[in-house]
Structure 1
Amino acid sequence: MAHTAILLAAGQSSRMGTLKGLLPWQGTTLFEHQLQNLRESVFSEIVVVLGYEAEKFLPTGKNYSAKIIINEHYQNGKCSSIIAGVSAAGKSTETILITSVDQPLQSAVTNKLAAALTKRPGLVAVPIHQGKRGHPILFSSQLRNDLLSIKEERMGLRHVIQENEKFLLEVPVENGQIHLNLNNQADYINALKK
Structure 2
Amino acid sequence: MFVTGLLLGADSAPQLSAPWQLLDYRGGTLFGAALDGARECGFDQLVVTLGSASEQIHDRVDLDGVRVVESPHSDTGSASIVPALDAVDRRADGIVVLAGDQPGITSATVWSLVAEAATPIGVCRYDDGESYPCWFGRELFGELRGLRSDADLWGPIAAGAHPVTRVDAIGNIPPRASTWASYRELLDGGAGPEALPFDTHPLPVAPTTTRRRRRAPS
Alignment map for 1:1-194 (pairs within 5 Å):
1-59=1-59, 60-63=61-64, 65-77=65-77, 79-104=78-103, 105-117=105-117, 121-130=118-127, 132-152=129-149, 156-164=152-160, 167-176=163-172, 178-193=173-188
Larger Rg: 2
Q: Secondary structure at the match of 1:15?
A: helix
Using the alignment, how far apart are the partners of 2:54 and 2:182 within structure 1?
Answer: 24
Q: Secondary structure at the match of 1:139?
A: strand
Aligned-CA RMSD value: 2.1
Using the alignment, how far apart are the partners of 2:128 and 2:75 within structure 1?
Answer: 34
Unmatched 5+ residue regions in structure 1? none
Using the alignment, how far apart are the partners of 2:25 and 2:88 within structure 1?
Answer: 27
Using the alignment, how far apart are the partners of 2:72 and 2:128 within structure 1?
Answer: 38
User: TM-score, normalized by length of structure 1?
Assistant: 0.85
Using the alignment, how far apart are the partners of 1:166 and 1:149 within structure 2?
Answer: 16
Unmatched 5+ residue regions in structure 2? 190-218
What is the CA-CA distance between 1:30 and the residue it aligns to?
Answer: 1.5
User: TM-score, normalized by length of structure 2?
Assistant: 0.77
2:47 and 2:69 in contact (8 A); partners too:
yes
What is the CA-CA distance between 1:156 and the residue it aligns to?
Answer: 1.6
Using the alignment, how far apart are the partners of 2:176 and 2:167 within structure 1?
Answer: 19
Using the alignment, how far apart are the partners of 1:191 and 1:75 within structure 2?
Answer: 23
What is the CA-CA distance between 1:122 and the residue it aligns to?
Answer: 0.7
Q: Secondary structure at the match of 1:47?
A: strand
1:8 and 1:49 in contact (8 A); partners too:
yes
What is the CA-CA distance between 1:89 and the residue it aligns to?
Answer: 1.0
Higher helix share: 1
Using the alignment, how far apart are the partners of 2:36 and 2:156 within structure 1?
Answer: 28
Using the alignment, how far apart are the partners of 1:175 and 1:165 within structure 2?
Answer: 29
1:51 maps to amino acid = G
2:7 and 2:38 in contact (8 A); partners too:
no
What is the CA-CA distance between 1:71 and the residue it aligns to?
Answer: 0.9
Q: Secondary structure at the match of 1:151?
A: coil
How many pairs align? Answer: 186
